Amino acid sequence: MEHASRARWVDGFDHRAWLANQLALQLRFGRRFPHPAGGAAYLDDAGAPDLGRPVHTWITARMAHVYSLGHLAGLPGCAPLAAHAVEGLRGPLRDAEHGGWYAALGPGPQRDGTKAAYAHAFVVFSAASAAVAEIPGAAALLDEALDVLDARFWEDGPGLLLDSTSEDWSQVSGYRGVNANMHAVEALLNAADTTGDRTWRDRAARITATVLDWAAGNGWRIPEHFDADWQPMLGHHRDQPDHPFEPYGATVGHGLEWSRLALHVRAALGDQAPARLLEGAVALFDRAVADGWAADGADGFVYTTDWDGTPVVHQRMHWVLAEAISAAAALGSVSGELGYEDWYRRWWDYADSYLVRADGSWQHELDRANQPADTVWPGRPDLYHSVHAVLLQRLPLAPSAAVALAAGLLRV
């Protein structure tokens, strides 16, 4: 790639002001998330709570995280909303009998008591951000969540998290997955920066090294699904290829997300970071863009591909574009190469045309013709990916976003 001879957008005051305005708009859009039963409601297209859906731990945790970041960024009204989400995690969503957190509650008396590493990683992630934001109860929540993640999910042999168990922890699923481990990386980095305990940073680095090895051995398409012995199951969900959490094949957005996360780990490790983290970040980005962007003739990222790069699910998910923007910004900041800036600008133009609404919310799903769709993600469930897309490039890659905001490192 050619090195940049012109300024990056993020180095310009007007672009940073636009990003700041988008952050404020998003957090205003989502402000109706508090559910009367506690936790975060699933939001519909207009940002209204859909009380016919369960209250999910992962959504509640994500809302606790983004509103904690909003408070740290100086946006009035965010702290009470973060506190509501934290109280949902400390109260109704917490399993007082067996420990840990239910997957979901409601509607009504219904309960999904599954103990999922994905949801628990987000509890750690959000509790760390909320603790930095000094949200009441968040520090204790973080301590408890780290204890549960360590005792119930961490498998020290492979150095990865198992995926899920029954409500009472007695039955462990035979499935193992990369998705939960991906979110554990950002959660553990956040916890390390918040607590000062390097154990969590080292675990994040260990997980990342393993996934990069798997990707390197598979054409930089990340195997996502494994059995209990961590043997890949490349045909998993072939009959349900658009599964929202465990889709068949290579998930393009995860290649982009891991590209960014590898750079966060690299920055966190500093001089001790191995060169393979940057090399892996570049390779994952290049593969995801080559396989996923406009792969069927229209702009936008396809959701998944087969193991030879052939598109499988053509829907465009908002979170994939958000992660592409964040990865391009991160690689551009590290390398100074012009190509990443070109992608960054192109993808923001696409987002502005198809995804970002006047109220700041993002259309969560488009079809292959870039028209609104709701086959996988109806409504506007949460703000996590889209908030990161307008915030992370104004912060350093390390420390984690909450700690960086508290330290006054936001570029305004």
Question: Given its phi and psi angles, is residue 191 left (phi above 0), alpha (psi -120 to 50 degrees) or beta?
Answer: alpha
| Separation between Cα atoms, residue 160 and residue 163, nearest integer Å | 9
User: If DSSP codes are grouped into helix, strand and coil, which group holds residue 165?
Assistant: strand
Query: 289: closest CA among 234, 250, 334?
Result: 250
Contact present, 396 and 267 (Cβ < 8 Å): yes
Active site residue 385: yes
Q: How many Å is the Cα radius of gyration of the chain?
A: 20
Distances (CA, A) of 292 to 152, 303, 314: 36, 8, 9
| Cα dist from 313 to 259, 327, 398, whole Å | 21, 22, 34
Q: Which of the residues 65, 254, 318, 388 is marked catalytic?
A: 254
- DSSP reduced 3-state for 112: strand
Provide DSSP, 347-370. Answer: HHHHHHHHTB-TTS-B--EE-TTS
Phi then psi for 163, rounded to 5 degrees? -90, -50
Cα 396 from Cα 216, distance rounded (Å): 27
> What's the distance, Cα to Cα, between the start and end of the chain in Å?
29
254 is catalytic: yes
Which residues are catalytic, by number? Answer: 254, 385
